[in-house]
Chain A
Amino acid sequence: MSTYLNLDGNEAAARMAYLGSEVIAIYPITPSSNMGEWADEWAAQGKPNLWGVVPRIIEMQSEGGAAGALHGALTSGALGTSFTASQGLLLFVPNLYKMAGELTPFVLHVAARALATHALSIFGDHSDVMACRATGCALLASNSVQEAQDMALIAQAATLAGRIPVIHFFDGFRSSHEVAKIVAVAPDTVRAMIDDTLVAAHRARALSPEHPVIRGTAQNPDVFFQSRERINPCYDAFPAIVQAAMDRFAALTGRRYRLFDYVGASDAERLIVVMGSAAETVEETVAHLTARGEKVGLLKLRLFRPLAVEAMLGAIPDSVTRIAVLDRCKEPGAGGEPLYKDVMTAFAEAAADGRRPMPRIIGGRYGLASKEFTPGMVKAIFDELRSAYPRRQFTVGIVDDVTHLSVEWDADFRTDASRRLQHAVFWGLGADGTVSANKNSIKIVGEATALHAQGYFVYDSKKSGAVTVSHLRFGPDPIRSAYLVEEGMAGFVACHQTVFVERYDLLAHAAPGGVFLLNTPVAKDAVWASLPAAMRAGILSRGLRLWVIDAYAVAQQAGMGRRINTIMQTCFFAISGILPRGEALAAIKKAVDKTYGKKSKRLADLNHKAIDLTLAGLHEVSFPGLLDLGDAALDSTAAADLPPFVRDFTLPVYRGEGNRLPVSAMPLDGTFPSGTARHEKRNIALEIPVWEADLCTQCGKCVFVCPHSAIRARAFPLEAATDAPPTFKHVPTRSKDFPSGTRISYQVAPEDCTGCGDCVEACPIHDKSNISRLAVNMAPLAPLRDAERANFDFFLNLPEYDRSQLKQGTLPGAMLLDPLFEFSGACAGCGETPYIRLATQLFGDRMLVANATGCSSIYGANLPSTPYTVNGAGRGPAWSNSLFEDNAEFGLGMRLAADQLMLYAKMLVKETATGIGGDLAEALITADQRPEAGIRAQRERVAELRARLARCDHPRATELESVAEWLIRRSVWIIGGDGWAYDIGYGGLDHVLALSHDVNILVLDTEVYSNTGGQTSKATPVGAVARFSAGGKATAKKDLARIASDYGHVYVATVAYGAKDVHTLKVFHEAEAYAGPSLIVAYSPCIAHGVDMLYNQRQQDMAVKSGHWPLFRHDPRLEATGANPFKLDSAAPSQPMQAFMDSETRFAMLARSHPEVARQLAAEAQQEADRRYRAYAELAARPATPKPE
């Protein structure tokens, strides 16, 4: 009897990979990270592989490192694997050539993902695997979650037999993250598939001093070529080896695969050739069309390399005359994409040989970066094939109004299979547990019934207040629909957050006569009237039934706080009838018990109670059968006074309409305007800070800590406030540094604030008579929003205070500088963004930013939001992201360009001095632009230069005009996280530090790979639990700052603004002022630490006081004066490390799961803190070196 599993593609593949491996080298990259995480967790739990041993999991510093380690392990006799995607796979490439050249058997499991080109994308397509087709690795595609499991095993069997390494790939997200019910491969099957004699043969080939050989030689023109050709028989034989493994698998499991699987009409005339998850959608559509007599078919290609041409041709019915070959990648400038060309070549050769007639073959691109690929699109391709002159090259899924390659499709086309399924769509917040509840529901249905289930989860790219849309399907047959639930198909739509009602078109997916379930605090009888007019109209026109529950009230009643996942899940089962109600409730309770297990019986009991209470709180709402709206406007989007780009691109994308934008709406080269984040107005805060002007001492701390630049300060003359809105607050400045009559205002951006409360936590001022009242206090947003919106608009239009008159070295002064980084998508309470904001306040008008891939690049530039913005003069940070691994080098390049072009401009100034005036020329060339005033003066000179050049007839005048702006010094900032700086980019970082170029490197140290979900980096402290170190990090964190300071010529500082804000400010000024390389390592609390980010600053303070994060500066300028360059800026540890560790889940959970290890590592953490402080103290105590005369 078959055992079923309900899991996603990553887990399915990882299960097989784990069993067949001895060494697993990993590195995180979306969407493959989960495979490594599974392997690490299984190893931490002591789960053995096929041979009874726990595989050794090793996280490396990059995919390049993982590839190298794997190569070494394989060539030394171990069985190994790895998991990767996209840029990570590219870093594997050099080693893939080597491993294939040496006939090293292993399987690399790839969740195929787009490669970064004009932009990064984390989503799925075949760009990455197609970039490996020349490596010599076999390329084996899985089309579904089931296949991700099955092919993982088949690949392992085949690589051992044929010795060719296999890249086993499946579509990123669509297959890697889809949860589906699959038939499990039994342990016996794995055992039977893996031939131990082949394993022994692999070991026999291992490098061994017992029978030494030499591998990896250097060869000369005499023999290299022949050696490459020597390998041909292996490639000739490999397809048959793969097929044999597939046949053996079929004999064991009954699931039969072929290198090329044909499905469709036996007399098909039109054929689609495709690989990956799209094959499932095509198969579903082909079944629909053939049932209607259409002569169509599908060739599912599984083994793409080595390409078995004869097998492929043999699989295609002779009746086929027209073929569309679909590629999920783009090869710009090529005559077609790779699969298309291979198919074309195969047929051309066969036709040339006279073996079969030449069909008409066209090539199409689809689904780049997880663009939807639907049955309607499949139908459109078949229709295109039927036309008299089908387009040779086409695209599908987009509207190409530039090169007109796209085929039109019918968005309303639905297959029979789709109509047979039950569809459900759930709108939730990332934090409300909707996704986990739905995964759980799939498990319940999958386990309790014979039904098949599928779940796919769409997340937005925001890190705070992220919206999730869960797409679930249930049906009696395996579900092939590798696309989102279609509009009008969901018999059940649930909205778990009331606020979405006003923001999204929640009913688009709803099927006529279906159910709409709303979680709302509004009483049952008042709900109907509370709904927006458009929604009421939608409910009536679709004939929906409306159900409501106040899930938060039920949660409260059950003692569950604000956790509503189980309640909403219960509602789904209660209403949908997928299972008999009693059975469903029992299953949910059983699932609850399994989830909480020994962790908390109390929580399990509370959930049980909530399940019981839910039914009493769930109501169907009756409403009038007629539309009672009059002619109320259903939608009104004011878009007046907006830049055209924002109106035509940014806002539609914000509204979720990006898929409808045509090709012409896209910038040509991936370049976008700054400052669009301000148009989003997310309104995600429940509470916002309110300034108490009477109490405030105007210290600026609230502005300093705000992660989203949502609270700001500005000084202005009284007359500027003449027309202020009535509730706009402003008071005289307290500092004597301002002319009399100067006013100051601290203003909140109510619709951009995330409500983290960090400003309130930072406020040092208490009402003398009421300690609870601070100078900023949180208050509910709703009653404040309209007034504060007007106040913020007014605030933004106040004149900018003259920067030269502000004391930028003081906190109050610096915080009056406008931030040029605002409203990013970072988490509420993010510990990184205040540092970036600070840099833009101080230096934004001259910043060039090189940003490593990671959180800071995602919240820094995830379309359509561009939080980097401009000042009143239109100047601001110019920002770019190259890669994860090359950011220091990328930033160095920016420095080189700035320096070189300045040099050239100065040369031209010299040449044209007679034309532009000697004094100006001299001043332009010799200007001291280190201080801000110097830059300001140079800008004025450059303006003057331009004016004079316009009147100048010097032959080089035009040339000088084109480079004149480079006469103004640029401040180059190289920004990234610890994953970049400590690990993958360390080589480059080290190189840049070793040079003398003037760059400022800001390392936002969260002590884990935050963006990919908290994997261990070399910055992770000892004793912390993180992904990839589930058993607790056993070694101390690398001391990057200390290492950098050893160079001597590098300005280095560690900072933690929550512990010492003025110190942080001072460090930023010093780093910028230093004309060589500067490194700031900034402690950045992160939600991955397992602590509420409300306590961001408290955690920083504890980190410093415990000695976890000592503060120091190493300033080479001091050495030049004979002073000790090393300054220790924090006191000796005054709190035990244990107290700090107890306050964060990343440490505390180890004490729960592995108490003995936790005790041991906590002791080591204390020793490390003491040791590090002692070492710093010794450095700081070194006597000054007398200044050389």
Chain B
Amino acid sequence: MIDLSTDYLGLRLKNPLVPSASPLSKSLDSLLLLEDAGAAAVVLHSLYEEELIAEDAMTERFLLHGELHDAEATGFLPDHGNFQGALERYLEHLRLAKLRLGIPVIASLNGVTPSGWIDLGKELQSAGADALELNVYHVAADPLESGDAVEARYVALLTELRRVVEIPVVMKLSPFFSSLPHFVQRLEEAGAAGVALFNRFFQPDIDLQTREMVEQLHLSSREEALLRIRWIAILRSHTSITLAATGGVYGHEEAMKLLLAGADVVHLASCLLAHGPAHLGHILRGMAAWMEEGEYASVAQLKASMSLGHLRDPSALVRQSYIRVLDSFTPRAGVWR
């Protein structure tokens, strides 16, 4: 029997497949389906700072302080008593997920400013979250903000969160850091129990018709796994904290590669959105088959076996491979060059 178990943020998981924050985690039904398919843990959808602020603004303006007007209309919408706000709804969902699922449940916080939302981590912990994912979705667009300041923002938010919670915190990072290993080291020092690589920023598109920026969500592609493989392989040699790979995993192939590179867990989202929760079981079976064929006994055995430090030629992961890739792209004869 192959042992698929892995360690993740100090939690022992039965296998490395952990569905990440996606619309699937918004419904208890699909969470149960994921568990049935073999998910080892789940990351709930993110509690967005902006969502909280927007809902608060709506509540304030239209419900609590509707008295915009004259003596006749002292408000417009009825008071619905103590209905649940966005946070309460999230907490309720988390509590319910904890109650119904047998696997660890990781809550996710998403925001960028020190506006008080980070304190909500405490609430998530109280509601039973086994760990927290902190997703600092920060696009560094300010020329006055240095790279160091960008990193400091992450560290500050993490420190703030660590101050209020005891459960492990995993930082979800974007690939846009100039020195990722150094930065991860800073995060580790600040108390991160792990990092998840990488956040896929939603890329706004331009609508040529209206000439407006439009939000569009594109599912990830398999190719995106490559970036993760490289950086996990590099980081694995420098850090012992949990490394979670997220992005581009569609089949057992990507999952195995990421594990070989050094990932402790592999997150799944796009493939589950595309093929449904049951696809997780499909990947899991593929992994087992591949390991069996390769005569691996456990995930622990193969994990990080191809990390930077374990490569015969570490340059394959760094600059050398750049040259090779370029060289490999040789135009066909007859093409002018």
B58, chain A: closest CB distance, angstroms: 5
When the two chains form their complex, are residues A1012 and B73 in contact, meaning their CB atoms are under 8 A apart?
Answer: yes
B160, chain A: closest CB distance, angstroms: 14
- Give Cα A173–Cα B72 distance, bound, in whole angstroms: 10
- Give Cα A1107–Cα B296 distance, bound, in whole angstroms: 59
A896, chain B: closest CB distance, angstroms: 32
A422-456 CB contacts (< 8 Å) to partner B: 430-431, 433, 435-436
B55, chain A: closest CB distance, angstroms: 7
The reply to whether the CB of A1146 lies closer than 8 angstroms to some CB of chain B is yes
When the two chains form their complex, are residues B55 and A41 in contact, meaning their CB atoms are under 8 A apart?
Answer: no
Q: Which of A59-67, A321-329, A557-565 contacts B (4 or more CB under 8 A)?
A: A557-565
- Give Cα A779–Cα B84 distance, bound, in whole angstroms: 39
Given contacts A430-B70, A595-B64, contact A1025 B77 (CB under 8 A): yes
Q: Which of B113-121, B129-137, B166-174 contacts A (4 or more CB under 8 A)?
A: B113-121
- Give Cα A1012–Cα B60 distance, bound, in whole angstroms: 20
Digitize A48-75: 1 where CB-to-B-CB distance is under 8 Å, 0 elsewhere.
0000000000000000000000000000
The reply to whether the CB of B33 lies closer than 8 angstroms to some CB of chain A is no
Digitize B67-83: 1 where CB-to-A-CB distance is under 8 Å, 0 elsewhere.
11111111111111111
When the two chains form their complex, are residues A605 and B73 in contact, meaning their CB atoms are under 8 A apart?
Answer: no
A244-274 CB contacts (< 8 Å) to partner B: none
Residues of B within 8 A of A1026 (CB): 76-78
Residues of A within 8 A of B62 (CB): 1090, 1145, 1149
B19, chain A: closest CB distance, angstroms: 23
Residues of A within 8 A of B318 (CB): none
When the two chains form their complex, are residues B60 and A601 in contact, meaning their CB atoms are under 8 A apart?
Answer: no
When the two chains form their complex, are residues B80 and A1152 in contact, meaning their CB atoms are under 8 A apart?
Answer: yes
Residues of B within 8 A of A565 (CB): 65
Given contacts A430-B70, A459-B71, contact A601 B63 (CB under 8 A): no
Closest to B119 in A: A605
When the two chains form their complex, are residues A430 and B69 in contact, meaning their CB atoms are under 8 A apart?
Answer: yes
When the two chains form their complex, are residues B115 and A1027 in contact, meaning their CB atoms are under 8 A apart?
Answer: no
When the two chains form their complex, are residues A30 and B56 in contact, meaning their CB atoms are under 8 A apart?
Answer: no
The reply to whether the CB of A806 lies closer than 8 angstroms to some CB of chain B is no
**B77 CB contact (under 8 Å) in A595, A609, A1088:** A1088
- Give Cα A1146–Cα B77 distance, bound, in whole angstroms: 7
Given contacts A461-B70, A603-B59, contact A1014 B85 (CB under 8 A): no
B86, chain A: closest CB distance, angstroms: 8
When the two chains form their complex, are residues A40 and B56 in contact, meaning their CB atoms are under 8 A apart?
Answer: no
The reply to whether the CB of B57 lies closer than 8 angstroms to some CB of chain A is yes
Residues of B within 8 A of A1153 (CB): 80-81, 83
The reply to whether the CB of B36 lies closer than 8 angstroms to some CB of chain A is no
When the two chains form their complex, are residues A122 and B72 in contact, meaning their CB atoms are under 8 A apart?
Answer: yes
B204, chain A: closest CB distance, angstroms: 13
Digitize A31-54: 1 where CB-to-B-CB distance is under 8 Å, 0 elsewhere.
101100100110011000000000
A602, chain B: closest CB distance, angstroms: 6
When the two chains form their complex, are residues B85 and A41 in contact, meaning their CB atoms are under 8 A apart?
Answer: no
When the two chains form their complex, are residues A41 and B78 in contact, meaning their CB atoms are under 8 A apart?
Answer: yes
The reply to whether the CB of A460 lies closer than 8 angstroms to some CB of chain B is yes
Residues of A within 8 A of B63 (CB): 599, 1090, 1145, 1149
Closest to A594 in B: B82
When the two chains form their complex, are residues B80 and A1013 in contact, meaning their CB atoms are under 8 A apart?
Answer: no
When the two chains form their complex, are residues A44 and B78 in contact, meaning their CB atoms are under 8 A apart?
Answer: yes
Closest to B83 in A: A1153
Task: Name the residue in B52, B59, B123 with the highest tally of chain A Cβ atoms < 10 Å from its Cβ.
Answer: B59
Closest to B63 in A: A1149
The reply to whether the CB of B211 lies closer than 8 angstroms to some CB of chain A is yes
Residues of B within 8 A of A45 (CB): 81
**B67 CB contact (under 8 Å) in A436, A601, A771:** A436
When the two chains form their complex, are residues B78 and A40 in contact, meaning their CB atoms are under 8 A apart?
Answer: yes
A195, chain B: closest CB distance, angstroms: 33
When the two chains form their complex, are residues B67 and A435 in contact, meaning their CB atoms are under 8 A apart?
Answer: yes
Closest to A1092 in B: B61
When the two chains form their complex, are residues A563 and B123 in contact, meaning their CB atoms are under 8 A apart?
Answer: no
The reply to whether the CB of A466 lies closer than 8 angstroms to some CB of chain B is yes
The reply to whether the CB of B87 lies closer than 8 angstroms to some CB of chain A is yes
B45, chain A: closest CB distance, angstroms: 16
Digitize B2-17: 1 where CB-to-A-CB distance is under 8 Å, 0 elsewhere.
0000000000000000
Residues of B within 8 A of A809 (CB): none
- Give Cα A459–Cα B71 distance, bound, in whole angstroms: 5
When the two chains form their complex, are residues A37 and B78 in contact, meaning their CB atoms are under 8 A apart?
Answer: yes
Given contacts A771-B211, A1090-B77, A1149-B77, contact A602 B69 (CB under 8 A): no
A866, chain B: closest CB distance, angstroms: 17
A468-494 CB contacts (< 8 Å) to partner B: 468
When the two chains form their complex, are residues A1012 and B72 in contact, meaning their CB atoms are under 8 A apart?
Answer: yes
Closest to A560 in B: B60
- Give Cα A595–Cα B83 distance, bound, in whole angstroms: 11
Residues of B within 8 A of A1027 (CB): 76-78
The reply to whether the CB of B292 lies closer than 8 angstroms to some CB of chain A is no
Given contacts A601-B85, A606-B116, contact A1011 B57 (CB under 8 A): no
Digitize A129-141: 1 where CB-to-B-CB distance is under 8 Å, 0 elsewhere.
0000000000000
- Give Cα A565–Cα B55 distance, bound, in whole angstroms: 19
The reply to whether the CB of B88 lies closer than 8 angstroms to some CB of chain A is yes
When the two chains form their complex, are residues A463 and B67 in contact, meaning their CB atoms are under 8 A apart?
Answer: no
Residues of A within 8 A of B85 (CB): 598-602, 1152
The reply to whether the CB of A1066 lies closer than 8 angstroms to some CB of chain B is no
A371, chain B: closest CB distance, angstroms: 15
Given contacts A565-B65, A599-B59, A766-B211, contact A1152 B83 (CB under 8 A): yes
- Give Cα A1011–Cα B71 distance, bound, in whole angstroms: 10
Residues of B within 8 A of A431 (CB): 65, 67-68
When the two chains form their complex, are residues A600 and B55 in contact, meaning their CB atoms are under 8 A apart?
Answer: yes
B109-150 CB contacts (< 8 Å) to partner A: 115-117, 119-120, 123
Residues of B within 8 A of A1148 (CB): 58
- Give Cα A906–Cα B211 distance, bound, in whole angstroms: 59
When the two chains form their complex, are residues B76 and A1088 in contact, meaning their CB atoms are under 8 A apart?
Answer: yes
Digitize B242-263: 1 where CB-to-A-CB distance is under 8 Å, 0 elsewhere.
0000000000000000000000
- Give Cα A1181–Cα B191 distance, bound, in whole angstroms: 68
- Give Cα A40–Cα B80 distance, bound, in whole angstroms: 11
When the two chains form their complex, are residues B73 and A1014 in contact, meaning their CB atoms are under 8 A apart?
Answer: yes
Closest to B58 in A: A1145
- Give Cα A1146–Cα B80 distance, bound, in whole angstroms: 12
Residues of A within 8 A of B60 (CB): 563, 603
- Give Cα A41–Cα B211 distance, bound, in whole angstroms: 45
When the two chains form their complex, are residues A563 and B65 in contact, meaning their CB atoms are under 8 A apart?
Answer: yes
Closest to A45 in B: B81
- Give Cα A771–Cα B213 distance, bound, in whole angstroms: 11
The reply to whether the CB of A462 lies closer than 8 angstroms to some CB of chain B is yes
When the two chains form their complex, are residues B74 and A1013 in contact, meaning their CB atoms are under 8 A apart?
Answer: yes
A998, chain B: closest CB distance, angstroms: 33
Given contacts A430-B70, A603-B59, A605-B116, contact A598 B83 (CB under 8 A): yes
**A459 CB contact (under 8 Å) in B52, B56, B69, B117:** B69
- Give Cα A598–Cα B81 distance, bound, in whole angstroms: 9
Digitize A1011-1045: 1 where CB-to-B-CB distance is under 8 Å, 0 elsewhere.
11110000000000111001000000000000000
When the two chains form their complex, are residues B79 and A559 in contact, meaning their CB atoms are under 8 A apart?
Answer: no
- Give Cα A1156–Cα B73 distance, bound, in whole angstroms: 29
Q: Which residues of B line the A interface, CB within 8 A?
A: 52-53, 55-60, 62-65, 67-89, 115-117, 119-120, 123, 211
Top 10 A-B residue pairs of the complex, sorted by shortest distance between their CB atoms: A1014-B76, A1013-B73, A1153-B83, A1153-B80, A1030-B78, A1090-B62, A1088-B76, A459-B71, A597-B82, A600-B85
28 contacts between A and B (CB under 8 A): A30-B71, A33-B72, A40-B78, A44-B78, A430-B67, A431-B65, A435-B67, A459-B71, A463-B73, A468-B67, A561-B57, A598-B82, A598-B85, A599-B59, A599-B82, A600-B52, A602-B116, A605-B116, A1011-B73, A1013-B69, A1013-B76, A1014-B75, A1025-B77, A1087-B76, A1090-B77, A1149-B63, A1152-B84, A1153-B80
* Additional 16 contacts, C-beta under 8 A, given A173-B71, A1152-B80, A1152-B89: A34-B74, A122-B72, A123-B71, A430-B68, A459-B69, A460-B70, A466-B70, A563-B60, A598-B84, A598-B85, A599-B64, A601-B87, A603-B60, A1008-B76, A1090-B77, A1149-B80
